[in-house]
C-alpha cells in the first residue's frame, strides 16, 4: 500500500493478483483503500517480477 501527497492510499497489485481475489475480498479491500490493479503479464511471465519489485527499485531524491 502506498499513499500520495494528499494522504490518499492505494493498494497496488498486479492484474493477475487482483484476478485471483474473490468478489468478497475485493469488496473488503475496496472498503479500506483504493485498489489499483496493474496489467504486467509480460513482466510476470518473462521477467519473473512483480509490482512490488518494480516499485521497490525506485530511488527518488528526498524533497526538500
The tens digit of pLDDT for each residue in 28-48 reads 999 999 999 999 988 888 887
| Domain annotation covers residue 63 | no
| Domain annotation covers residue 22 | yes
| Domain annotation covers residue 62 | no
| Domain annotation covers residue 26 | yes
Tell me the whole-structure pTM to 2 decimals.
Answer: 0.78
Q: How confident is the model at residue 18 (pLDDT cuts 50, 70, 90)?
A: very high
Q: What's the CA gap between 29 and 34, in Å, rounded?
A: 8
| Domain annotation covers residue 7 | yes
Tally the domains of the chain.
Answer: 1
Phi then psi for residue 16, to 5 deg, are -60, -45
Q: What's the CA gap between 37 and 27, in Å, rounded?
A: 14
- Per the DSSP assignment, residues forming a β-bridge with 13 are 37
Domain coverage including residue 6: 2-56
Amino acid at each position: 500500500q502506498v499513499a500520495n501527497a494528499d494522504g490518499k492510499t492505494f493498494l497496488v497489485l498486479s492484474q493477475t493478483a487482483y484476478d485471483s481475489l474473490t468478489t468478497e475480498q475485493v469488496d473488503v479491500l475496496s472498503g479500506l483503500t483504493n485498489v489499483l490493479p496493474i496489467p504486467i503479464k509480460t513482466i510476470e511471465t518473462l521477467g519473473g517480477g512483480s509490482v512490488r519489485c518494480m516499485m521497490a527499485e525506485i530511488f527518488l531524491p528526498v524533497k526538500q
